[in-house]
Amino acid sequence: MTDQQAPDGSDLSRRRFIVRTMVVLGGAIAALLAIPVVGFATAPGWQAKTTPKLLSTTVAPTLRSNDWTSIGRVVDFEVGVPKYLEVERNIVDGWVTEIAPIGIQVVRSTDTDVVVFDPHCTHLGCPLAWSTGAEAFVCPCHGGSFKSTGEVVSGPPPRPMLRYETRTEGGEVLIGTFIADAV
Amino acid sequence: MGRIRSWLDERLDVSPLVSGFLDRKVPGNIGWFQTLGSATLFLLIVQIVTGIALSMSYVPSPDHAYDSILYIDQTPFGGAVRGIHHWSAGLLVLLIGLHTLRVFVWGAHRYPRELTWVVGAGLFFVVLGFAFTGYLLPWDQKAYWATVVGTNIAGSAPIVGGAMLELLRGGQQLGAVTLARFYGIHVWVLPAILFLLVGIHMFASRPRHVASRWWTPSPASPVARHTSANTPPRSRPANPSGRRL
């Protein structure tokens, strides 16, 4: 079948007009649907707060809390000996708000100072455990290890262990959010 | 059988469709290596069937995922269905890899099958996407930490890393949102892409679109001659005189 000329002599036949209208309308409807659907599904990506530099804190899968949480008294900890604790924190996980146990490593560095680490490797986020033999925090995944001060000893980790901001009130230690100053 | 078939044909005319695919002409010198694609398709169907069954007792939430897996394993045939889904998944990744390798070694990715190859490459990544998202769903130790590491690898990419990490996790941390996203991608997004690509991939393997052995190019088959890996492309014979022939 060949396209017939329109009565007014132009090239736009009835058939081509209908095809073009369908393409344009169909495309417009598809785009109108795609904007909210794709936008909704990819929102975490384009709303992302994680820049490559900040990956230092998001590398840890630990669920965050905005509260100050007591982890015990300074005198409860031995100087220089890391201690693993799970503290009940008020966390927000998507639509879930609950009290959940959060693992931390506490190191009393001096008589008065306590440093609190997140026990996850800064390489790819595997769980760290203190090895008394190696005197280091050791990662089971790719062999990264850290001193009790959080500095990297060996392996692939690009930066020191993540630390919580701490506050001491009358001998009691409280932790807040992560200190995001890791280089 | 014949009566049912003619009854159906009068109404739906299905015989040409079936025979067009099953009775199509293929080169005479093909063998077991050409069955890898069908084997991959078979495992995809196994995964779809067992996956649909599993979805009826699985809950993608950190509170319930692991317990619903334990529940499935106690249900009659539940352990078997989950076991088939688990082991077939590993075998599927292996088979699609072998299928891809076979096509590449045969040189069958070249003219006139480039689009079959491109679509097949897309299917390869879809299957890897299934494997990555499905791995998290049991929400056990291995699943959780593998996804921590996997999403952090995506996050370590230059420039787009942060966006990739949060797109996968549905936020900065790994939790309820991540599990729901992975489940949605695993059972809705990837299957939709899979059906589309498998349809194109199989449509493209109609008559004369199966490559014969690369080590014995058959003179009877022009397609085989074009695509044999042992006949590099040639231009016309050397013409030192420079005269137009």
Confidence of residue B235 (pLDDT cuts 50, 70, 90): low
Confidence (pLDDT) at B30: 81
Tokens of A160: 């020191």
| A85 touching chain B per CB within 8 A | no
Question: Is the model's pLDDT at B217 over the cut of 80?
Answer: no
Contact B165 A127 (CB under 8 A): no
Confidence of residue A179 (pLDDT cuts 50, 70, 90): confident
Contact B162 A62 (CB under 8 A): no
Confidence (pLDDT) at B208: 55
Contact B165 A126 (CB under 8 A): no
- Rounded to an integer, the average pLDDT of A37-64 is 86
Confidence (pLDDT) at A152: 95
Pick the residue of A40, A47, A55, A120 with the most B CBs within 10 A to test the interface with B by mutation.
A55
| A174 touching chain B per CB within 8 A | no
Question: What one-character DSSP code corresponds to residue A160?
Answer: P
Q: Which residue of B has its CA nearest to A50?
A: B162
Query: Quick check: A153 and A147 in contact, CB under 8 A?
Result: yes
Confidence (pLDDT) at A183: 41
- How much of chain B, in percent, has pLDDT values that exceed 70? 84
pLDDT tens per residue, range B10-34? 999 988 888 887 887 777 778 899 8
Q: A53-179 is classed in which CATH architecture?
A: 3-layer Sandwich (2.102)
Q: Which residues of chain A make contact with B171, given a CB cutoff of 8 A?
A: 44, 94
Query: Alpha-carbon distance A99 to A91, whole Å?
Result: 6
User: Which of B118, B123, B89 minimizes the C-alpha distance to B196?
Assistant: B123
| A95 touching chain B per CB within 8 A | yes
* Beta-bridge mates of residue A69: A175
pLDDT tens per residue, range A66-116? 899 999 999 999 998 999 999 999 999 999 999 999 999 999 998 889 999
| Chain A / chain B CB contacts < 8 angstroms | 90
Question: Which of A44, A96, A124 comes nearest B167 by C-beta?
Answer: A44
Confidence of residue B210 (pLDDT cuts 50, 70, 90): low
- Give the domain ranges of chain B: 31-227
Give domain B31-227's CATH superfamily.
Answer: Cytochrome Bc1 Complex; Chain C (1.20.810.10)
The ipTM of this complex is 0.85
Question: Is the model's pLDDT at B226 over the cut of 60?
Answer: no
| Helix/strand/coil for A177 | strand
- Give the domain ranges of chain A: 1-48, 53-179
Sequence-separated (6 or more) residues with CB below 8 Å from residue B141: none
More confident residue, A144 or B241: A144
Question: Is the model's pLDDT at B191 over the cut of 80?
Answer: yes
Read off φ and ψ for residue B158, nearest 5 degrees: -65, 145
Confidence (pLDDT) at B31: 85
pLDDT, chain B, mean: 88
Question: Is the model's pLDDT at A8 over the cut of 80?
Answer: no
H helix intervals, chain B = 2-12, 15-22, 36-55, 65-74, 78-105, 114-136, 141-155, 161-169, 176-184, 190-203, 222-227
Contact A49 B174 (CB under 8 A): no
Query: Alpha-carbon distance B119 to B129, whole Å?
Result: 15
Most confident of A56-65, A159-168, B120-129, B166-175: B120-129
User: Which of A175, A179, A173 minimizes the C-alpha distance to A160?
Assistant: A179
- E strand or H helix at A25: helix A14-46
Contact B156 A93 (CB under 8 A): no
Pick the residue of A37, A93, A118, A159 with the most B CBs within 10 A to test the interface with B by mutation.
A93
Q: Which residues of chain A make contact with B170, given a CB cutoff of 8 A?
A: 44, 94
Query: Alpha-carbon distance B125 to A3, whole Å?
Result: 44
Q: Which of A170-174, A178-182, B117-121, B163-167 has the lowest mean pLDDT?
A: A178-182
Contact B161 A55 (CB under 8 A): yes
Question: Is the model's pLDDT at B245 over the cut of 50?
Answer: no
Question: Is the model's pLDDT at B224 over the cut of 50?
Answer: no
Q: Which residue of B has its CA nearest to A142?
A: B149
Contact A55 B176 (CB under 8 A): no
